[in-house]
Chains A and B, each alone.
Chain A
Amino acid sequence: MKFLQLNLLAYGPFTDTVIDFTRESGGFHIIYGPNEAGKSSALRGLKNMLYGIPQRSTDNFIHPHPQMRIGGTIESAQGDILEFVRRKGIRGTLRLPDDGDIIEESVLTRYLNGVDEDLFITMFGIDHGDLIRGGEEIIHGKGNMGQLIFAAGSGISRLRKVQEQLKSEADALFKPAAKKPKINENISVLNKNRKNLRDAQLPGQQWESHDKGLRLARGKKKEIVKELEEKKSSLYYLKRVQQSLPIIAKRKELINELKSYVKAILLPKKFSELRSNRVASLNSMEKERLQASGSKKDVENELSNLQVPGDLIDRSSEIEELHRDIGSQLKGEKNRLKLQTRMNLLQNETKDILSLLGDDLKIENAYKLRIKVSEASRIKTLGRGHDKIITRLETAEETIPKLAATITAANRKLKESGILHDIAPLKDSLRRADDYKVLEKQYIDEQSKITIELKTLEIELGKQSLWQGSVKELESLSVPEADIINIFEDKIGESELKIAQLKGELLGLEKNLSDAEKQISELNLKQEVPTEKDLAAAREKRDKGWHLILSILNDRSDYSEKIDDYITDYIQKTPTAKTLADAFEISLKKADEISDRLRREADRVTAKVKLIVDQESFNVQIDQMKNRIKTALKEKREIEKEWVALWEPAKISPKTPKEMRIWGENHRALAQKGKDIRERKARGDKLKTDIDHHIKILNRCMKKIAGINGGGSKRLTDLIEEGKKVIEYENDLQKNKKHLEKENIRLNQELEEAQARVDSTRGELLKWEKNWKEALLPLGLGAGTHPDDANAVMAEHHNLFEKLKKLDTLKEEINAIGLDKDKFCAKVDSIVNAVAKDLADVLPQEASRKLNDRLSMARAAFSKEETLLGQLKKDKDRIAKARVKISEIESQLNQMCREAGCERYEQLAEAENRSKIRWELENGIKELGERLHPLSGGALIDDFIKDALMVDPDTLENKILLLEEEIEKCDHEKSELDQTIGSERTELDKMDGSARAVGLAEESQILMGRLEKDAQEYARLKIAAKILNMGIERYQEKSQGPILKRASSLFKLITKGSFEGIRAEFDDNGTPVIVGVRPGNGELVGVEGMSDGSADQLYLALRLSGLQDYLEKNEPVPFIIDDILIKFDDTRAIAALQVLAQISRQTQVIFFTHHTHLLRLVEKNIDDSIFVQHQLV
């Protein structure tokens, strides 16, 4: 296969880029593309064209995925040409050149000689990376012969790596004697798991033994418990008896003692207490009566010695009031001094202010200075207004010069802006031309499409068989209509079919005939089958004989020699007969025999008869059939003549109608294309005229506005853009001018307003000054006084009047204090005259104090008298009460004596004692009875005592000890059984139906699942490695000789004689390896001793040798190289290029590069009849 054309219709950076490989000169194509020219895209395009564009292709940066197209033309070794378009997609991506109908992939596959994409890339493509990797592999693989021969024959540069990977992946899974790999590890985990499983499984016997143990222990325990109960019961009884015996004895003692107190009167429990309380109360009442009588006597004495002054107490409120006033009198005195001092001070300050104001006024006349509130308010208001007027005036005056300057600047700007043009005609032209803008683009696109399509059509026309002519002639060519062709196709087809049918029928007849003949001969082979004819002949012969005999026997008259002759003849015609009789007998038998056979072999006879009839009929039919075939052939020839005549007008000698129908369809399609193109071209020309008209008008308009610089573009689109810009500019200019003019008017108005404001403010100031002068008159200040100064004077006035007001208040307070003192003295005098004349000469304040002291003493005496009178009354009451109580108690004691059977209450104590002893004895007996009660075990006390007294107290202790020992033993036994039960239960509880073992079994299954998967993976890897090695060995065996030989000479060429070649050697391990041979002394150089460059070149030599080996045995496949020579020095690069040129005689070599120096090397060193250079731009 070889490439004829690669058309990157829409792929990577390319649109409709054709690389033509058809040129006669040679098979060595250098495709040069500088960086960014899309060299890599073109390389990919070449592969994608053959094998499809990958799903996620990155060559879609200009043409989106659905639009990506690569066209290709390839030629097979047999000279068949396939032209197609490859589009991007999932299926049906291979199309006819018009991108229409789908071509089956298998059609292309046949051209590719069964080389799939992987193999194409690996074996028929090499890039710089492959070369470097190949060189490295040679060095790392130490020149291993098998690997290198296989790599050379397959183009695989990473063979050793694949082998190593297979091995390392397998090793990671399994190694026979290791622990770490996955499978080994899992097997050991599995074994461990299985051991754990065995341990975790609970054997049935173990459960049974524990279960049995538990039941046994429970039975025994039941018995022991019963025994224990009995023993404990006996023990408790004996112990009770033991505890009861001392109580029983004591009880008996008490019962005896009680007998001597039977007559004692039982007194109530509280009797004794009641009696002693009452005696004590009697005594204390007697004592109370004596104490009260003494107290009464003392009080009466004291009363008789006490005196109380009544007149003082009567005036007590007045005396107390005066005494209270003493304090306020003293305070008033002090206050008056203070007030006097303050008054003096204020008077001095007032005088100071007056002198400051400059008026020679005395304090008394100072009121003259006071002004009205309204006057003061007017001064303040005017003062505040002054500042505002001044500020307003100053601001207005400042604005005027600023505004003047701004107005000047604005006028300048207006002058500087340009002149306006009339743009209405331009606008109008643009509006009308605008529709044609899109049309112009369409026109241009359409023109280029028409050109391409016309070219394509021409190419297609060139390829059209049977007829050659120009595109123009194409349309006018008279070609029969498809219907007519179909009629002919049918006609010829029908006649051919008829002939074939007839021939088929003839064959059938001939076969029938031969079958019949065969069957007849088969029937005869067994034994000649008699026919009716045979029978008739035999009978005739028999009758003839009989007639002869009859003629002899009956009538000898007509006997003649003739008859003898007949007889002789008859005998002669009957074999083995000697006499007439013999002959007759024979013929008689024969006739009978035939008759018999006819009857006996009736089936065979009938069959034969039918066969013979058939045979004759077939012969007739065959002759008829032959005649019919002859006629049919003649008819067909007639039709064919008509067919040729039909095509004469087109000067075409037609092939079969079927072929001509396809030809005709092709032709019509081409003619239709030609017509389309012609019509489109005509439409385009009309459009172009209109567009040119608008271009002219626009150019004119724009020249008018912009002068010589306006217009000039040849394309309408550009002109429209330019025109729009001009209009935009003019519009902007007009807007700007209007804005400036408006601004100017506004500024002038502002200036006028500012002047007016200055004038009005000045008027206001004059008016103010007049008012100010008037307002200041009451203060006596001149018109020139500043408002601040006027305010200060008014403040001093205010101060002065405040002080005067305070002076008046002080004077009033001093007067009030004097009046108060006089009132006090008068009151004191009045009281002294009435109740204490001895104090007439004492000072009023001192007299008041003394009166108060005397009043206090009188009050104390009065109070004591009242207390003593109260005490006296109390004492009298006490004496009366004591007497009543004493008589009450005495009557109660008498009652008690009657109860206890005593005469006097002093005897009561003895009676109480006897009663108490009787109580105690009876209680003691009762208590002992109660103590025996719990020990009796539910029996009646007397019964129990009776039984207890029957037990021998001397053996009791021993019996108890014995029982206790026995019980302890039983307890111990029971506790042991409890332990056994507990431990058996614990064991059984542990066996709780747990699923631990199940869990472990499940783990084992999971592990086995994993092992199975890993084992399969391991098997895959090992089998792959093994088969690869087998393949390598086989290929080495078959191809080592030729590949090595050729590689040796290629290596010599490429290294420019630096090596004489290569050859096979054995390394230290006896493995065959490749070594280099130096020229001259034939020194051997191992691959480890080669430079990187030489190793690369050795790999290249091997690859090319492997390629040539393939090409010798297979149809050619192009070899595609991607810049492999970039690290070669010039000498070796030239050598390599020459080798490639040599290979290009066997198959197409396509060399992509972006190095110009390589191009130069090719041009200089390779015969230009061999190489073709393509430029990607």
Chain B
Amino acid sequence: MLKFIHTADIHLDSSLRKLDSYEGAPVDEIRQAARRAFNNLVKLAISEKVDFIVIAGDLYDGDWKDFNTGLYFVSQTAKLRDAGISVYIIFGNHDAASKITKSLRLPDNVHTFPSNKPETFLIENLNAAIHGQSFASPSVKKDLSLHYPSPVPGYFNIGLLHTSLSGREGHEPYAPCTLEGLRRWGYDYWALGHVHQKEILCDDPLILFPGNIQGRHIKETGPKGCVLVDVDSSGKPSFKFKPLDVIRWTNLEIDAQGAQTSDDILDLFSSSLENLLIENPEIPLVIRVLIKGETPAHQELCADFEKWNNEIRGVALDISGEMVWIEKIQIGTYPPLSEKTSGKGEGAMGELAGLFDELKSDPDLLLTLYDELRDLDQKIPREIKEDPDGVILDDPAWLKKMLEQVRPMLFQRLLQKEG
């Protein structure tokens, strides 16, 4: 009876975050990822012959100013127009901040909802009613759903809403509302947007976040895409998730427990990676590697960071053939108990070892290390410092983490015999 696509949080033209390129990294695969994912959406809509697409906000990225992005969007919607597919859009917090939203003229198959009041689009031949309201400003704190129109009798009623619901971790609390409230409204389908993780909130009526269509950083892992909704003749909707992403973010944890040498860890990594590639066939991956657990290879891992980076990247390259981008390698291993107790005695090396322990437990002493890094701190870009995952030179917790890496590195350098 009716077939449509529900998508949201497209953030057109926003880039994948902080990927250090290296020889053999699939650089071409990250290029214009958001656009290519959107191209996939358009292709899917055409091949599935859907009736329309609803976009539940955040089509653009808030601080992205390039009008070309809008023009690109127009060129893609023109393709949809040629295929007889309409597009219904509400603007979310990012769109409200975007200058593109205000000046772009859209093709006549694209319908946008006003921001001063909710509105309903009736599609007579399909017996469908789409209700929605756009954000007027980037920060909407009131419950927009409260003023949505009553359902149109005899129609399939879709509510289009950009909301954080009753709050979602990592997402600003905009247009808050309750699931119960939405359920009671009497609509057949709530097409929500704003939350980047896919989440099915209710089966009857269907209420769901489809998530964004392309992961952009390590918090946005796994397959990303849209929801294809099929409404049968009795008016009952069913849906399928359709991945659209062109490159996928993934965490890869390696439990090094039991690994005796660094080679063992490489073997573990290689078999884990092979499994990951089987789970995600034919799509390039961005992988963050975390090596953890108790292992005698801890010292070896920490002693030469760069070497490890290269080894792991090399293995990834061998196995995947430029299908994998190793984003970061985090070492979270620790030495076995017997090695911990063996130490550096009471001499000069003992003194140095003691100093490390003291730094760990004395925050004031720890912060004196920042003196060495102040110059760098003043030069590096804000984005690196502000990222909780980044380089926070004046943060004692961050410095403590560094100590764990510096200690084996320094001892290795000092105690390595020459020639």
Q: What is the minimal beta-carbon distance from A125 to any residue of chain B, in angstroms? A: 9
Within B50-74, the residues touching A (CB, 8 Å) are 64-74
Alpha-carbon gap, A154 to B349, bound state (A): 6
Query: Which of B205-213, B271-279, B352-360 makes up part of the contact surface?
Result: B352-360
B409:A995 contact, CB within 8 angstroms: no
Nearest neighbor of B389 in chain A, beta-carbon distance: A1012
User: Is A941 engaged at the interface, CB distance under 8 Å to the other chain?
Assistant: no
Alpha-carbon gap, A1109 to B71, bound state (A): 77
Alpha-carbon gap, A201 to B345, bound state (A): 62
Alpha-carbon gap, A122 to B381, bound state (A): 42
Contacts of B103 in A (CB 8 A): 204-205, 207-208
User: Is B146 engaged at the interface, CB distance under 8 Å to the other chain?
Assistant: no
Query: Which of B30-38, B117-125, B155-163 makes up part of the contact surface?
Result: B30-38
User: Is B19 engaged at the interface, CB distance under 8 Å to the other chain?
Assistant: yes
Within B63-93, the residues touching A (CB, 8 Å) are 64-75
Most buried by B among A121, A150, A206: A150
Nearest neighbor of A152 in chain B, beta-carbon distance: B348
A119:B415 contact, CB within 8 angstroms: yes
User: Is A934 engaged at the interface, CB distance under 8 Å to the other chain?
Assistant: no
A105:B405 contact, CB within 8 angstroms: no
Q: What is the minimal beta-carbon distance from A201 to any residue of chain B, in angstroms? A: 4
Alpha-carbon gap, A1030 to B348, bound state (A): 12
B406:A1023 contact, CB within 8 angstroms: yes
Contact of A1106 among B75, B100, B347 (CB under 8 A): B347
Contacts of A809 in B (CB 8 A): none
A123:B66 contact, CB within 8 angstroms: no
> Given A114-B343, A119-B415 in contact, is the A1008-B348 Cβ separation under 8 Å?
no
B20:A1024 contact, CB within 8 angstroms: no
Alpha-carbon gap, A332 to B104, bound state (A): 126
User: Is A652 engaged at the interface, CB distance under 8 Å to the other chain?
Assistant: no
Contacts of B403 in A (CB 8 A): 1023
Contact of A1008 among B35, B100, B351, B384 (CB under 8 A): B384
Most buried by B among A1004, A1005, A1022: A1005
Contacts of B376 in A (CB 8 A): 174, 183, 1015, 1018-1019, 1022
Alpha-carbon gap, A1030 to B403, bound state (A): 14
Nearest neighbor of B67 in chain A, beta-carbon distance: A202
B338:A1024 contact, CB within 8 angstroms: no
A211:B105 contact, CB within 8 angstroms: yes
Nearest neighbor of A187 in chain B, beta-carbon distance: B379
Most buried by A among B68, B338, B384: B68
A1019:B347 contact, CB within 8 angstroms: no
Q: What is the minimal beta-carbon distance from B239 to any residue of chain A, in angstroms? A: 31
User: Is A892 engaged at the interface, CB distance under 8 Å to the other chain?
Assistant: no
Most buried by A among B14, B355, B406: B406
User: Is B240 engaged at the interface, CB distance under 8 Å to the other chain?
Assistant: no
Nearest neighbor of A990 in chain B, beta-carbon distance: B68
Alpha-carbon gap, A184 to B378, bound state (A): 12
Contacts of B185 in A (CB 8 A): none
Most buried by B among A115, A149, A187: A115
Contact of B381 among A190, A994, A1039 (CB under 8 A): A190
B419:A204 contact, CB within 8 angstroms: no
Within B379-404, the residues touching A (CB, 8 Å) are 379-381, 383-384, 390-391, 393, 399, 402-403
Q: What is the minimal beta-carbon distance from B271 to any residue of chain A, in angstroms? A: 19
A159:B414 contact, CB within 8 angstroms: yes
Instruction: Provide the B294-313 mask, 1 if CB < 8 A to any CB of A, else 0.
Output: 00000000000110000000
Q: What is the minimal beta-carbon distance from A990 to any residue of chain B, in angstroms? A: 10
> Given A106-B338, A118-B411, A1017-B305 in contact, is the A1031-B67 Cβ separation under 8 Å?
no
Contacts of A55 in B (CB 8 A): 261
Contacts of A165 in B (CB 8 A): 413
B355:A998 contact, CB within 8 angstroms: no
Most buried by A among B30, B305, B391: B391
Within A604-647, the residues touching B (CB, 8 Å) are none
User: Is A1001 engaged at the interface, CB distance under 8 Å to the other chain?
Assistant: yes
Contacts of A762 in B (CB 8 A): none
A1025:B409 contact, CB within 8 angstroms: no
User: Is A1006 engaged at the interface, CB distance under 8 Å to the other chain?
Assistant: yes
Contacts of A1025 in B (CB 8 A): 372
Q: Count the B residues whose beta carbon is within 8 Å of the partner chain — how many?
A: 83
Within A675-714, the residues touching B (CB, 8 Å) are none
Contacts of B411 in A (CB 8 A): 118
User: Is B21 engaged at the interface, CB distance under 8 Å to the other chain?
Assistant: yes
> Given A112-B342, A184-B379, A1002-B16 in contact, is the A1012-B390 Cβ separation under 8 Å?
yes
User: Is B180 engaged at the interface, CB distance under 8 Å to the other chain?
Assistant: no
B31:A1002 contact, CB within 8 angstroms: yes
Contacts of B345 in A (CB 8 A): 113-115, 119, 123, 1110, 1114
User: Is B375 engaged at the interface, CB distance under 8 Å to the other chain?
Assistant: yes
Contacts of A1016 in B (CB 8 A): 391, 402
Contacts of B402 in A (CB 8 A): 1016, 1019-1020, 1023
Contacts of A998 in B (CB 8 A): 13, 15, 32, 34-35, 66, 69
A1027:B380 contact, CB within 8 angstroms: no
B104:A999 contact, CB within 8 angstroms: no
Instruction: Provide the B336-371 mask, 1 if CB < 8 A to any CB of A, else 0.
Output: 001101111111110110011001000000000101
User: Is A814 engaged at the interface, CB distance under 8 Å to the other chain?
Assistant: no
Alpha-carbon gap, A1006 to B391, bound state (A): 16
Contact of A1026 among B21, B261, B372 (CB under 8 A): B372
Contacts of B16 in A (CB 8 A): 1002, 1005
Alpha-carbon gap, A119 to B412, bound state (A): 11
> Given A202-B68, A1002-B15, A1010-B21 in contact, is the A993-B351 Cβ separation under 8 Å?
no
Alpha-carbon gap, A1113 to B73, bound state (A): 76
Contacts of A1114 in B (CB 8 A): 345-347
Alpha-carbon gap, A150 to B306, bound state (A): 28
Most buried by A among B16, B328, B409, B417: B417
Alpha-carbon gap, A729 to B163, bound state (A): 107
Q: What is the minimal beta-carbon distance from B109 to any residue of chain A, in angstroms? A: 17
Within A138-193, the residues touching B (CB, 8 Å) are 149-154, 156-159, 162, 165-166, 174, 176, 183-184, 187, 190
> Given A995-B32, A1012-B390, A1023-B402 in contact, is the A183-B341 Cβ separation under 8 Å?
no
B74:A1031 contact, CB within 8 angstroms: no
B406:A1030 contact, CB within 8 angstroms: no
A91:B260 contact, CB within 8 angstroms: yes
Alpha-carbon gap, A115 to B391, bound state (A): 35
Alpha-carbon gap, A106 to B68, bound state (A): 67
B415:A118 contact, CB within 8 angstroms: yes
Q: What is the minimal beta-carbon distance from B177 to any residue of chain A, in angstroms? A: 32
Instruction: Provide the B239-282 mask, 1 if CB < 8 A to any CB of A, else 0.
Output: 00000000000000000000011000000000000000000000
> Given A115-B345, A133-B418, A1110-B345 in contact, is the A204-B102 Cβ separation under 8 Å?
yes
Contacts of A838 in B (CB 8 A): none
A1012:B384 contact, CB within 8 angstroms: yes
Q: What is the minimal beta-carbon distance from B267 to any residue of chain A, in angstroms? A: 13
A200:B19 contact, CB within 8 angstroms: no
User: Is B202 engaged at the interface, CB distance under 8 Å to the other chain?
Assistant: no
Contacts of B371 in A (CB 8 A): 1026
Q: What is the minimal beta-carbon distance from A1026 to any residue of chain B, in angstroms? A: 5
Contacts of A1106 in B (CB 8 A): 347-348
B351:A1034 contact, CB within 8 angstroms: yes
A1019:B391 contact, CB within 8 angstroms: yes
Instruction: Provide the A403-424 mask, 1 if CB < 8 A to any CB of B, else 0.
Output: 0000000000000000000000
7 closest A-B pairs by beta carbon, nearest first, are: A153-B348, A993-B72, A1009-B20, A204-B103, A154-B348, A993-B71, A118-B415
Instruction: Give 18 pairs: A residue, B residue, CB < 8 Å, sorted on A.
Output: A55-B261, A109-B338, A114-B345, A122-B349, A123-B345, A187-B379, A187-B380, A207-B67, A208-B103, A1008-B18, A1011-B384, A1015-B391, A1019-B376, A1020-B405, A1027-B352, A1031-B352, A1106-B348, A1109-B347
Other 8 A-B pairs with CB < 8 A, given A116-B343, A174-B379, A1016-B391 = A123-B347, A123-B349, A991-B68, A993-B72, A994-B68, A995-B13, A1016-B402, A1031-B348
